[in-house]
Amino acid sequence: MVQGDVVYLDIVFMINLVMDYVILWTTAKFAHVRSSAARLFAGAVIGALASLLLFYLLYMVPGVVVSTFKLFLLKMLISLVMAATAFPFRDMRKFFGVILNLYLVAFAMGGAMIGSIYLFQNNPAAYSTMNGLIVFLVNVHFSWLAAAIAVAILLARWGRNFVRKNLLRAMLQVPVVVRFGDKRLALKALVDTGNSLKDPLTQKPVMIAEYGALKELLPESFKVAFEKGPENLEEMIKGLQTDVNWGFRVRMIPFSSIGQQKGMLLGLRPDDLVIVTDDSYIKVRDVVVAVYRHRLSSKGEYRALLHPDLLDAA
């Protein structure tokens, strides 16, 4: 540390307390984990006290030397205790998923702070790195903290949806199970960011599914009319409305596509749709299934196009 610099331990504690609380709060939002302000504050206090203790031992007690590896393990232990305090958990797999989200948020906020120092601080002695810890040698500028907190707010507000819709969905195929009455059908669906179809009356998102996949679930009168051709739309609707189990499900979904500026898909409201993810499932009732006449994938890799908003029903 530069000789003559004064570090106030109460300020070190308060800065760490604020930042740790913001990190835990953002992690709760980003990872969609329920917690309380009291638990988040308790976790932040533990993190701030641990940081203060590390700072004191490493820089204010003569002769104390901690190897990089041991310091890394110590930091890992602190983060685990913080997360265990801040977030209730029963499943270890989900807990470690929260830990990964916590590190992602911490790295993003730390990067924002270092970036703001690089851009706005012209004092080369603004900070120093010692034993893997960043030690601020001058007063912490408001802009540094503001940059980190701004990133936290962005992650909390839009980060989860951005990751789902943009980083994962472009190549995501998921199993889904659609239920009409006592009949269920499992099929593979592609999360399609280009699918913006919604029921014009209820604004429910629409999943497009191949007729060939849904065929076994549909009433015979409808199948006869459907297979005659798209011009028999009125007959298809009548075929459904005459069936007490299907009449209330009918929806008409307008759409436009290349080569067809205005079109109409016949939609059916299922009892529910279950989207199967890696470690859980999402059950959706506010959805319409549109019947598509042609194949969606030439190789048969998927048989439905999932509206991206359906993944936000978790």
Considering the candidates 10, 20, 182, 192, report the single residue annotated as catalytic.
192
Q: What is the pLDDT of residue 129?
A: 41
Give whole-number Cα distances, 120 to 12, 113, 135, 144, in Å. 21, 10, 18, 9
pLDDT single digits (tens) 162-215: 655 555 544 578 899 999 999 999 999 988 877 788 988 889 999 999 999 999
Q: What is the pLDDT of residue 154?
A: 77
Q: What is the pLDDT of residue 1?
A: 46
DSSP result, 186-255: EEEEEE-TT---B-TTT--BEEEEEHHHHGGGS-HHHHHHHHH-GGGHHHHHHHHHTSTTTGGGEEEEEE
Q: Is the domain 172-313 a CATH 3.90.550 member?
A: no
Residues of the chain with pLDDT under 70: 1-8, 114-145, 156, 158-171, 231, 257-261, 278-279, 313-314
Has 279 been annotated as catalytic?
no
pLDDT single digits (tens) 185-195: 999 998 887 77
Specify the pairing of strand 304-306 against strand 183-191. Answer: parallel
Displacement of CA 15 from its chain's centroid (Å)? 28
Q: What is the pTM of this model?
A: 0.48
């190549």: which residue's tokens? 171
Residue-range domain boundaries for the chain = 9-166, 172-313
